[in-house]
Structure formats: C-alpha cells, structure tokens
Amino acid sequence: MLINDPISDLLIRLKNAFMSEHEQVAMPHSKLKEAVAKLLKEHHYITDYQVTKKKPQSELVIELRYIQDQPAITRVKRISKSSRRVYAPADKLPLALKGYGLTIVSTNQGLMSAKKARKQNLGGEVMCQVW
C-alpha cells in the first residue's frame, strides 16, 4: 500500500483507534513515525510504542492511553502538508490550545515540541498539533 503522507496516516489511525476504543493500533514502521510516537509518549498521549520486525516491512505498534475512560487524544490537526509546507521561526511557532496541547516541529536537530524548539531558539516545519 502506497502512503503519500505518513504523518497524516499515523494521526488518522490514532484518532480512529481512539474513537473505536481500541487498546492498540498497528501501522507500517518508518523512522519519522517512530519519532512522532516517541514525542507522543514523552508528553503522555500514548502509553508506549514498539517496533516489531516483520517481512517485508516492520510494524509500529502503539498502545493507546485513556484517562478515566476518555481518550488522551481528542483532536489532531495536520498543519504542514505535502501540497503546502508551513515553516515558522522560533518566535512564531504556534502552540496548540495555548500551550496545553502538543505542536510537533521538524527542526534541523530532529522532531521536537514547539515549546522545546522555542527554548532552543529553533524554527522549522510545523508538522501537526495534538490535543
């Protein structure tokens, strides 16, 4: 299966799995998806993730997190798309829900949250927002 936008695929699979109240969701693995999963785990939006080696492609399995039977992720928003890239300097990085959500930014030092990028004075491509 050809996936043109792996980040959108990851976000929509997460959103659909949360809406269906699944315990975990599996998808084709990529380093970019794994980096996003690592950020989501650091900010407590998911419980854990793991990469399982399979042929022909490895699989990324994400364990979903619920708080009092409510999904930890209620909304996702893809900002930068393959058809329209969105870049921002460090002082203009948007914050999801005025800082209560997570904005993922791709910088020259890898993927990180917008808060961390601001502290390190790094701008970059605004990938997505999760809350």
Q: How many domains does the chain contain in total?
A: 2
Asked whether residue 50 is domain-assigned, the answer is: yes
pLDDT digits (tens, 9 = 90+) for 61-91: 999 999 999 999 999 999 999 899 999 999 9
Are both 41 and 25 inside the same structural domain?
yes
Predicted pLDDT at 1: 58
Per-residue pLDDT of the chain (131 residues; tens, 9 = 90+): 567 899 999 999 999 999 999 999 999 999 999 999 999 999 999 999 999 999 899 999 999 999 999 999 999 999 999 899 999 999 999 999 988 999 999 999 999 999 999 999 999 999 999 99
87 forms beta bridges with 125
Sign of CA dihedral 16, 32, 85, 93: positive
Are both 63 and 26 inside the same structural domain?
yes
Cα(19)–Cα(95) distance, integer angstroms: 24
Are both 10 and 65 inside the same structural domain?
yes
Cα(32)–Cα(44) distance, integer angstroms: 19
E strands, 11-100, are 24-28, 46-52, 59-64, 66-67, 70-71, 76-78, 87-88
Asked whether residue 86 is domain-assigned, the answer is: yes
Are both 61 and 92 inside the same structural domain?
no
Asked whether residue 1 is domain-assigned, the answer is: no
Q: Provide the domain limits for residue 31.
A: 6-14+21-70
Using a cut of 0.75, tell me whether the model's pTM lies above it.
yes
